[in-house]
């Protein structure tokens, strides 16, 4: 068992920018998802007119769309550039790096690339009751890293790095904490009981059942560009929830019939397969108000990330 020194925390932008938008309004979350999916690769700027029109594809009114853009700007989530009477929105600098990191984490989720070495990362912490918001933020960030609580104030993960955990503790100023690496052989309840794997299995099975018919339509070329935009965005949003729900346990800790690989293959097939059609629809919308900016719209795939 080894302890990670607090001074060893890596520095850099937070990697939870995109998922945290779920705590904002739905239009704000949708705007960040759409920007990440179609402008992040080009570092482009999108006009407010185009973004509001894009939201209309999802049934969001112009009033709600403009309000969401204003809130994102006030929160520092999007930058604003004005050219005469026209307003453009984009994401720059550290925020763009953070957004790209979040997108890569979501798109690569479910791909097993390394063998597990059998060790666990544990985080033991204590946060005073008067700092409830700090405690909530810490739990949220630990869960995003792949941790789960085995006991109150004692979180574990077989895949998360100790350095990332130390970094989050330092960012939030939590000093009453220790991060350890252990082989998990100390006895007591099985460490996998920290997760409700039956619930996660059920979510995967629901995703597979709901997405399989769409995958068949994609293979048959029976999806319009307008349908592709909405369907691709919703599939991305649904897959993102697994980044929260499923800790990404190594195969050695999972049942042999675990459905993640099947769900992952379906997600990649649909998300990548609908990419060109969805991009075409976004470009059509941008052309209505900003003909010179349509070339900035570029989709990415699970194999070609921003």
| Mean pLDDT split into 10-residue runs, the chain, 306 residues | 35 36 67 97 96 97 97 95 94 93 93 84 95 95 91 91 95 96 74 90 98 98 98 96 88 93 98 98 97 96 93
From its phi and psi, is residue 121 left (phi > 0), alpha (psi between -120 and 50) or beta? beta
pLDDT at 247 (0 to 100): 84
306 domain residue, yes or no: no
276 domain residue, yes or no: yes
Contact status, residue 296 vs residue 45, Cβ threshold 8 Å: yes
Q: Is residue 200 domain-shared with residue 188, that is, in the same domain?
A: no
Whole-number Å distance between alpha carbons of 100 and 12: 13
The domain spanning residue 144 has which CATH number? Answer: 3.30.70
Domain boundary among 91, 108, 125: 108
Domain boundary among 108, 138, 158: 108
Q: Is residue 224 domain-shared with residue 276, that is, in the same domain?
A: yes
Q: Report the domain count for the chain.
A: 3
Q: Is residue 175 domain-shared with residue 237, that is, in the same domain?
A: no
12 domain residue, yes or no: no
Nearest in space to 42 (alpha carbons), one of 303, 228, 294? 294
Q: Within 13 Å of residue 124, how many CA atoms lie on the same side as its CB?
A: 6
Q: Is residue 21 domain-shared with residue 55, that is, in the same domain?
A: yes
Torsion of CA 42, 43, 49, 50, to 10 degrees: 30
257 domain residue, yes or no: yes
Q: Which residue has the tokens 């739990």?
A: 139
Residue 243 main-chain phi, psi, to 5 deg: -65, -25
Q: Tokens representing 27?
A: 């239009």
pLDDT at 113 (0 to 100): 66
Reduce the secondary structure of the chain to three states and give it as a string.
Answer: CEECCHHHCCCCCCCCHHHHHHHCCHHHHHHHHHHHHHCHHHCCCEEHHHHHHHHHCCCCCHHHHHHHHHHHHHCCCCEEEEECCEEEEECCHHHHHHHHHHHHHHHHCCCCCCCCCCCEEEEEECCCHHHHHHHHHHHHHHHHHCCEEEECCEEEECCCCHHHHHHHHHHHCCCCEEEEEECCCCCCCCHHHHCCHHHHHHHHHHHHHHHHHHHHHHHHCCCCHHHHHHHHHHHHHHHHHHHHHCCCCCHHHCCCCCCHHHHHHHHHHHHHHCHHHHHHHHHHHHHHHCHHHHHHCCCCCCCCCC
Q: Is residue 208 domain-shared with residue 291, that is, in the same domain?
A: yes
301 domain residue, yes or no: no
Domain boundary among 151, 166, 193: 193
64 domain residue, yes or no: yes
Nearest in space to 78 (alpha carbons), one of 128, 33, 123? 33
Q: Is residue 219 domain-shared with residue 238, that is, in the same domain?
A: yes
pLDDT at 24 (0 to 100): 40
Nearest in space to 288 (alpha carbons), one of 30, 46, 40, 38? 46
99 domain residue, yes or no: yes
pLDDT at 188 (0 to 100): 65
Q: Is residue 154 domain-shared with residue 121, that is, in the same domain?
A: yes
Segments forming the whole domain that contains residue 39: 17-108
């Amino acid at each position: 068992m080894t302890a990670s020194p607090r001074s060893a925390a890596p520095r850099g932008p937070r990697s939870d920018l995109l998922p945290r938008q779920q705590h904002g309004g739905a239009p704000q979350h949708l705007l960040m998802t759409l920007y990440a999916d179609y402008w992040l690769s080009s570092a482009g700027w999108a006009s407010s007119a185009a973004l509001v029109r894009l939201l209309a594809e999802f049934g969001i009114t112009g009033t709600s769309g403009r309000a969401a853009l204003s809130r994102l700007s006030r929160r520092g989530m999007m930058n604003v550039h004005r050219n005469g009477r026209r307003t453009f929105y984009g994401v720059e600098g550290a925020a763009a790096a953070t957004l790209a990191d979040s997108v890569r984490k979501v798109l690569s989720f479910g791909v097993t690339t390394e063998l597990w070495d059998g060790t666990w990362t544990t985080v033991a912490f204590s946060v005073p009751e008067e700092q409830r918001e700090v405690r909530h933020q810490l739990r949220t960030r630990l869960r995003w890293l792949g941790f789960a609580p085995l006991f109150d104030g004692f979180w574990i993960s077989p895949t998360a790095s100790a350095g990332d955990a130390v970094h989050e503790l330092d960012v939030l100023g939590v000093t009453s904490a220790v991060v350890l690496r252990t082989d998990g052989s100390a006895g007591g309840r099985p460490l996998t009981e920290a997760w409700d794997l039956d619930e996660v299995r059920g979510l995967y099975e629901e995703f597979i059942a709901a997405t399989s018919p769409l995958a068949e339509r994609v293979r048959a070329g029976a999806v319009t560009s307008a349908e592709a935009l909405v369907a691709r965005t919703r599939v991305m949003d649904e897959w993102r929830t697994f980044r929260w729900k499923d800790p990404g346990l190594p195969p050695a800790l999972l049942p042999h019939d675990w459905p993640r690989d099947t769900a992952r293959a379906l997600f990649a097939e649909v998300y990548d397969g609908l990419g060109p059609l969805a991009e075409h629809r976004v470009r059509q919308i941008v052309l209505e108000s900003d003909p010179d900016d349509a070339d900035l719209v570029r989709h990415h795939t699970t194999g070609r990330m921003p």
